[in-house]
Structure 1
C-alpha cells in the first residue's frame, strides 16, 4: 500500500502552543548543501538523514524520545519513523481496548510532555466527528484493518449567505488507509473525520500528537457550528482509566448509498 504524504514542512513555533516549554521547539527541515540531502538535526551533517528502521513499538518509542529531546524536530523524519515501524500485534495488543459504543483513545506514552503516543480502537462502524487538532501535529498509522479519512475546509467566517443546498464545510479529499499506511494532518491542512467503514471488522490505529492537547473543536458539516470538546483516555499504559469522555464526539454511523458513493450520516 503506497503511503499518502502531505507537504509536511512547518515550524511548530508558528502555531499557538499552550505549553511554554514547547514554544522553542521548531519542527523544521534544513538542507545540507554538501551532499544535497535533507537533514533532520542541527548536527545533521554528522547523522544519517534517513529514519532508522523500527523493529518494534518499543524501538519506535525510544527513538521518538531521542528525537524530541532536541529543540528542532523534523516532521518528515517523524513521519518516516512511523512508516518504518511495521505493525506487530504482539507489540500493541495490551494497549488495544475496545468499547462497544464508541472508538477509544488509549495512551501508550506521554513523551515527556512533548508528544502523546496513543492507540485508537475503532469498532465496527465507529467514527469521529469532524474536528480540528488544536494547532497540533497529528501522525496516524494503521495497525490493523481499514479506516476512511475525509478532509474538509474550515467554515467561512460569514455563513449568512450560504445557499440552502450547500454545506458549510466543503469536502477536500477522501481516502482509505490500509494496514501500515501513514497520514499526517495539522490545522493548516484542514479538518478531518475518521471512520471505520466496515460493519464486520474492527480497526486499530497508532497516533502521535505534538504537542499534546486535551480539547479540540468539533464542527457541524451542514452549519459550520464549532463546539469545544474535551478529550481524555479510555486507558493509560494498558490500564483502564476511571475518567471517560466523549472522545471528540464519537458516533456509530449508518451508511447510505447515494449515486454509488458511500455517504455517512453526521454525529
Structure 2
C-alpha cells in the first residue's frame, strides 16, 4: 500500500493536517497512521485546551471530526479511572499516550457457547509518546490509569468514527450496547 509523503508533525495542528492528507484515500495504511502518530512528540501546550477531566470517570473530548473518515479525540483519565472491556464496532483504533501511563489489557472474544470468565490474552503498560493499535479482529480491550496519584491523557484516532460500542462483563462475557459520550472541542 502506498504511503503519503509527509513531514514529521511538530504540533498537534500539524498532525491533524497530515492525518487529513492520509485519510483522503479510501484505504487505510495502519502502519503509516501509527508511524505518523508516533512521530508527534507530546506537547501539553498543543493539547491542554482539549483536556477536560471529570472526577468520576474518564472523558472523551473531540479534537477533530476528520471529514467523517476519522475522529481524533483526547481522552482524560483521572486517578484510577478505566474503561469497560469493549469492542471498536469494526473500526481501527490508534491510541497515543500524551501524559502519564495507561495499562491496556487485551481479551479474547467470548465464544457465546458458555458463560464464564473472559480469557485475558495480554497486558502491557503504555508509556508517554507510545502508540497502541487495536481493531475487532485483534480482540477486545480495557484501558486503565492504574495510578492513584497521577492523571493520564491519551490521543485516540478512530476510523471510521463510531458513536456506540459493545461492553463486556469480565465474569460472564455478557454484552451490553453503550452510547459513547463525547465533549465537543471548545477552541
1:52 partnered with 2:1: no
Alignment-derived partner of residue 143 in structure 1 = 98
1:175 to partner: Cα distance: 0.3
Alignment-derived partner of residue 107 in structure 2 = 152
1:207 partnered with 2:170: no
Greater Cα radius of gyration, structure 1 or 2:
1
Cα distance in 2 for residues equivalent to 1:73 and 1:191: 21
1:97 partnered with 2:52: yes
1:238 partnered with 2:181: no
> What CA deviation, in whole Å up to 9, does each residue of 1:55-107 have, x standing for no partner?
00000000111111112231110010100000000000000000010000000
Alignment-derived partner of residue 3 in structure 2 = 40
Alignment-derived partner of residue 9 in structure 1 = none
Kept after mapping to 2: 8 A contact 1:117/1:209: yes
Aligned match of 1:128 in 83, 102, 127? 83
1:115 partnered with 2:70: yes
Alignment-derived partner of residue 171 in structure 1 = 120
Cα distance in 2 for residues equivalent to 1:217 and 1:52: 37
Cα distance in 1 for residues equivalent to 2:7 and 2:102: 26
> What CA deviation, in whole Å up to 9, does each residue of 1:103-151 have, x standing for no partner?
0000000000000000000000000000000000000000000000000
What is the correspondence of 1:188-207 to structure 2 with a 5 Å cutoff? 188-207=137-156
Cα distance in 2 for residues equivalent to 1:78 and 1:238: 25
SS at match of 1:126: coil
Cα distance in 1 for residues equivalent to 2:28 and 2:75: 24
Q: Which consecutive segments of 4 or more residues in structure 1 shift more than 6 A?
A: none
Count of residues in Structure 1 that have an aligned counterpart in Structure 2: 187
Cα distance in 2 for residues equivalent to 1:52 and 1:192: 32
Aligned match of 1:76 in 31, 34, 37? 31
TM-score relative to the length of structure 2: 0.96
1:236 to partner: Cα distance: 1.1
Which structure is richer in relative contact order (CA contacts within 8 A, separation 6 or more)? Answer: 2
TM-score relative to the length of structure 1: 0.68
Cα distance in 2 for residues equivalent to 1:59 and 1:171: 37
Cα distance in 1 for residues equivalent to 2:27 and 2:62: 24
- Give unpaired runs (5+ residues) of structure 1: 1-29, 31-38, 42-47, 240-267
Cα distance in 2 for residues equivalent to 1:192 and 1:71: 26
SS at match of 1:90: helix
Q: CA RMSD in A?
A: 1.2
- Give unpaired runs (5+ residues) of structure 2: none
